[in-house]
């Protein structure tokens, strides 16, 4: 396995082939926790790995250098998938100073017993010389947590971007040109949608700052390292930060006795008459990870649930809770569903939830009492058509 | 009118500018912002803002 990024800079992380749940994100392709070793006159580690894999990480470091030779361990992000190994690593690397910003120090102190750690707290724009190379620190709040930070090495034009541009993608390869581009871009999209969709504004600002740097390589803390397709992943992120709509509509539903499902099918059929991608997802059979990924770049979304105990189906409530936290923007939509006897709950409640998510509501909820009549199904088809016609205006790429 | 800073992400609410994207017209005092308003950068609520000193 090729682990060398640049002369003197190597990957020392851990490939997590078997992880399938990452705080609720269904990681069907596993993940990696990337960490990097820079050997110069001084020696620095960039980040650690998840706690259970710290010994593997230290083995990777030991294969290249003595642990006593480590002068600095930089922590770009306090989340435990990268910091979990720090308590063991700080003990094992007895001469290492922990380098991070003030917010990160506060967060690490609240996660671990740090009483014995030596610290160097850095400000935005500060640098540390390693000899031939410089570590330059850039605060990137909310990409992904408040303390998040990039580390940039100007001499190598190398950006350690932490979660940004990452992918939950275990692979035998470390570099973007060793893998099919469409596969890794899809993983980068899923990662963006599920982890940081709500932080589009701070990420856009971070990208503006990154655009001022000369970059030949982006080394994120998950997935493959970008060196041949930086332009492509930047262009993709530029679209993601504004949830840029494509000619694509989504019909999302839950159902008990298939009345709401019939309505969903009719909406889908209407949309299929247009020149758009029309998707249909039942929340019971499609994990919310996939749903969030698809919502990121849709233009319009119809959401349906029958009324259950004066409310909506709990699986749908879970998906809506998740989506509303991710704060997708630039979406139109409407609610639909079947009910038995009450006005509240079901489609009414779905409509309220969508409105609270600031989805632009194009019509009142479509409601069917028990099984939908042919007239109601035609109304569904018509609403699907209208949604498709709206989505058609957006460019496909 | 006092400016407020988001303790989480550092975004500054300037009442003279408001937050038009979220329907807060220029001139809206921080005290008059509805409770369901969210920081446009990071999504936290009003309770995570402090007066910007200086
Ligand atoms: C994806 C993700 C999003 C988070 N969002 C927030 C947030 O919006 N506000 C907050 O105060 N903490 C947030 N946190 C921090 C967690 O609440 C914190 O890490 C907590 O200690 C986790 O508790 P647990 O160990 O029981 O999972 C987030 C953490 C993750 C992983
Ligand atoms: Fe993270
Ligand atoms: Fe991470
Ligand atoms: Fe904020």
pLDDT digits (tens, 9 = 90+) for A180-238: 999 999 999 999 999 999 999 999 999 999 999 999 999 999 999 999 999 999 999 99
A130-133's contacts with Cβ under 8 Å and 24+ in sequence apart are A130/A38, A130/A40, A130/A41, A130/A42, A130/A43, A130/A44, A130/A71, A130/A72, A131/A40, A131/A41, A131/A42, A132/A40, A132/A41, A133/A8, A133/A38, A133/A40
Say whether A199 and B10 touch across the interface (CB within 8 A): no
Q: Cα distance from B3 to chain A (closest Cα, Å)?
A: 20
Chain B CB contacts of A198 below 8 Å: 42-43
ipTM of the complex: 0.88
How confident is the model at residue B1, as a pLDDT?
Answer: 87
What is the overall mean pLDDT for chain A? 98
A146, A198, A327 member nearest B8 (Cβ)? A146
How confident is the model at residue B54, as a pLDDT?
Answer: 73
Give the pLDDT confidence of A260-314 residue by residue, as tens digits. Answer: 999 999 999 999 999 999 999 999 999 999 999 999 999 999 999 999 999 999 9
DSSP 3-state assignment of A287?
A: coil
Beta-bridged to residue A118, according to DSSP, are A97
Q: Is A335 exposed, middle or buried (0-12, 13-18, 19+ CB in 10 A)?
A: buried
How confident is the model at residue A283, as a pLDDT?
Answer: 98
Q: Which pair of structure tokens corresponds to residue A330?
A: 């630039």
A201 touches chain B (CB under 8 A): yes
Give the pLDDT confidence of B38-50 residue by residue, as tens digits. Answer: 999 999 999 999 9
Say whether A142 and B40 touch across the interface (CB within 8 A): no
Q: Is A209 exposed, middle or buried (0-12, 13-18, 19+ CB in 10 A)?
A: middle
Give the pLDDT confidence of A342-381 residue by residue, as tens digits. Answer: 999 999 999 999 999 999 999 999 999 999 999 999 999 9
How confident is the model at residue A294, as a pLDDT?
Answer: 98
Bridging pattern class, strands A277-282 and A248-253: parallel
pTM for the model: 0.96
Please give the distance, rounded to the nearest whole angstrom, from the Cα atom of residue A17 to the centre of ligand 1.
Answer: 24
Ligand lying closest to the C-alpha of residue A78? 2
Beta-bridged to residue A217, according to DSSP, are A158
Say whether A201 and B10 touch across the interface (CB within 8 A): no
Q: Which pair of structure tokens corresponds to residue A77?
A: 């992000």
Give the pLDDT confidence of A50-70 residue by residue, as tens digits. Answer: 999 999 999 999 999 999 999
Say whether B42 and A327 touch across the interface (CB within 8 A): no
User: Hey, of A104, A106, A141, A242, which one would you mutate to test binding to chain B, going by the most B CBs within 10 A of its CB?
Assistant: A141
Q: Which pair of structure tokens corresponds to residue A26?
A: 């269904």
B10 touches chain A (CB under 8 A): yes
């Amino acid at each position: 396995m090729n682990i060398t990024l640049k002369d003197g800079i190597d990957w020392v992380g851990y490939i997590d082939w078997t992880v399938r749940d990452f705080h609720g994100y269904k990681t069907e392709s596993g993940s990696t926790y990337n960490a990097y070793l820079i050997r110069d006159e001084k020696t620095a580690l960039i980040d650690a790995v998840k706690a259970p894999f710290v010994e593997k990480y230290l083995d990777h470091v030991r294969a290249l250098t003595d642990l006593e030779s480590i002068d600095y361990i930089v922590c770009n992000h306090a989340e435990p998938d990268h910091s979990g190994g720090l308590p063991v690593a700080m003990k094992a690397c007895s001469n290492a100073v922990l380098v991070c910003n003030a917010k990160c120090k506060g967060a690490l102190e609240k996660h671990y017993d740090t009483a014995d750690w030596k610290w160097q707290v850095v400000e935005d724009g500060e640098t540390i010389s390693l000899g031939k190379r410089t570590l330059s620190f850039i605060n990137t709040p909310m990409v992904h947590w408040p303390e998040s930070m990039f580390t940039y090495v100007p001499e190598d034009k190398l950006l350690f971007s932490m979660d940004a541009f990452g992918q939950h993608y275990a692979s035998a390869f470390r570099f973007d040109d060793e893998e099919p581009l469409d596969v890794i871009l899809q993983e980068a999209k899923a990662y963006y949608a599920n982890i940081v969709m709500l932080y589009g504004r701070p990420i856009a600002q971070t990208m503006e700052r990154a655009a001022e740097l000369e970059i030949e390589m982006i080394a994120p803390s998950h997935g493959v390292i970008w060196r041949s397709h930086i332009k492509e992943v930047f262009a993709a992120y530029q679209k993601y930060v504004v949830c840029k709509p494509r000619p694509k509509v989504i019909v999302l539903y839950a159902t008990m006795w298939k009345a709401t499902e019939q309505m969903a099918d009719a909406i889908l059929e209407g949309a299929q008459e247009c020149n758009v991608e029309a998707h249909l997802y039942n929340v019971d059979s499609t994990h919310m990870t996939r749903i969030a990924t698809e919502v990121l770049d849709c233009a319009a979304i119809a959401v349906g649930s029958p009324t259950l105990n004066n409310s909506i189906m709990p699986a749908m409530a879970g998906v809506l809770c998740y989506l509303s936290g991710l704060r997708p923007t630039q979406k139109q939509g409407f609610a639909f569903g079947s009910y038995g006897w009450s006005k509240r709950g079901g489609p009414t409640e779905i409509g309220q939830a969508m409105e609270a998510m600031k989805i632009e509501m194009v019509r009142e909820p479509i409601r069917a009492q028990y099984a939908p009549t042919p007239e109601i199904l035609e109304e569904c088809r018509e609403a699907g058509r209208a949604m498709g016609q709206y989505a058609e205006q957006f460019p496909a790429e | 009118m006092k400016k407020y800073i988001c303790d989480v992400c550092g975004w500054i609410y300037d009442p003279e500018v408001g937050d038009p994207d979220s329907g807060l017209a220029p001139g809206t005092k921080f005290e008059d912002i509805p409770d369901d308003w969210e920081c446009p950068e990071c999504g936290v609520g009003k309770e995570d803002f402090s007066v910007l000193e200086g």
